[in-house]
Amino acid sequence: MIQMFINLLETIPSLGRHSFQVAFLSAQIAEKMNLDPNVSFLSGLIHDLGLILPYEGKTLLDEIDDTFVIVRDTPGKPLHLHSILGSFITDYVEKLKPISPIVLKHHFPASYLDKTEENLISNIVFISDQVSRYTMINLDVSPRDILIALEDMKSFFFPEVFEACREVLNTEFVQWQLENILAGYDVTDLLDHHVRNCPDCDKKDLIQIGKIVSFIVDTKSEFTTSHTWRVAVFSEKMAEKAGRNSEDLFIAGLYHDIGKISVSYKILEKPAKLSDEEYAIMKKHVYFSYLILLPYKDENWFLPAVRHHERLDGYGYPFRLKGEEMTLEDKIIQVADVFSALLEERPYRPANTVEKALSMVREEVKKKKLSQEAFELLESSLEDFDLSSIEVGREIRKEIRTFVNRVVEKFGDYVL
């Protein structure tokens, strides 16, 4: 699970480098203070994940580029919106619940906190976050010198946290590792020890995370508000009809477009035909899905998820596979993905009716691009559910709003 988050963050370079720096430095400081370095690492790694969670129709990180900027968050308050949204994500996933309060309070000054282990780790993430942000803005300043700049903020940190940070930043090992992370070097070996000591996840956890992933991906564009969920449900029902593992196909559907998190809104929302360059970027989302999901390469759902743009005639992508090289599961998700997309409005066309969408999929079957067997499974599955009810986004939006309101009510003047 944690390796998947690392792979995801690597597709958003600036956010990834910042998150890896904070995770690494938090673990070093925690170890110096005899606190749990693995909890500190995990908290630092996903402390800013709330930046990519849509709230009221928009994410806080508006654009994916090389600049790490919180464009919609409110400065000058200890409880930022991205902290609340990150806390929601971790609270939503059972095995991440213990770090939810840490993520929530990672901008709280020490004066607002009791000196518990949880709050000490929150404060560790806070000072690590400030160090990282400073190194990203001031590339010619060494990490050790940053504490001079942080002297004005010294009262924001517990004295022992500030002193431990000073000590670890005085070591060449930490200085050079922070520089290497910022330079974009491979951090796999550096982070591996902590990854191995973080909680792994079962299929229940994958589905919980997958719901959030599908919400993030689908809400990036007003034209795909329920696409991923539809693909997951269609694939699940078609697999049931075929006597295949429906849970695996459901998970494959939830994650098949995770690579779109790295695609610019300008491309996803463009009202006209994409240029060749833009289309190449859009196509690459499936490659990013492959990279992000690679930790699960031995799971049965992995290949269907990353093969959803392959076609029987060998003209799909990214592997250019032909029909005999693919499983029925691969072909099921391909049909489910095309059918779901045809039901949705696009900037350049209106949504199709179910009958029209089925007719268009049937034409792709005749052209030997999509599987006849998978198409028949789709047709026979449609009677099993109400298409208008396939919408997980509405449920998650409501849960996010309730969570935000509860936090605001609890912390009052600390927030926004």
Nearest alpha-carbon partner for 374 in 329, 316, 332, 313: 332
DSSP string, 227-257: HHHHHHHHHHHHHHHHTS-HHHHHHHHHHTT
Residue the block writes with tokens 């690492």: 41
Residue the block writes with tokens 């229940």: 204
d(CA 153, CA 130): 10
Cβ-contact 106, 43 below 8 angstroms: yes
Cβ-contact 339, 361 below 8 angstroms: yes
Q: How many CB atoms lie within 10 A of CB 65?
A: 12
Contacts of 313 (CB under 8 A, 6+ apart): 322, 323, 367, 368, 369
Residues involved in catalysis: 260
DSSP string, 137-157: H-TTS-HHHHHHHGGGGGGGS
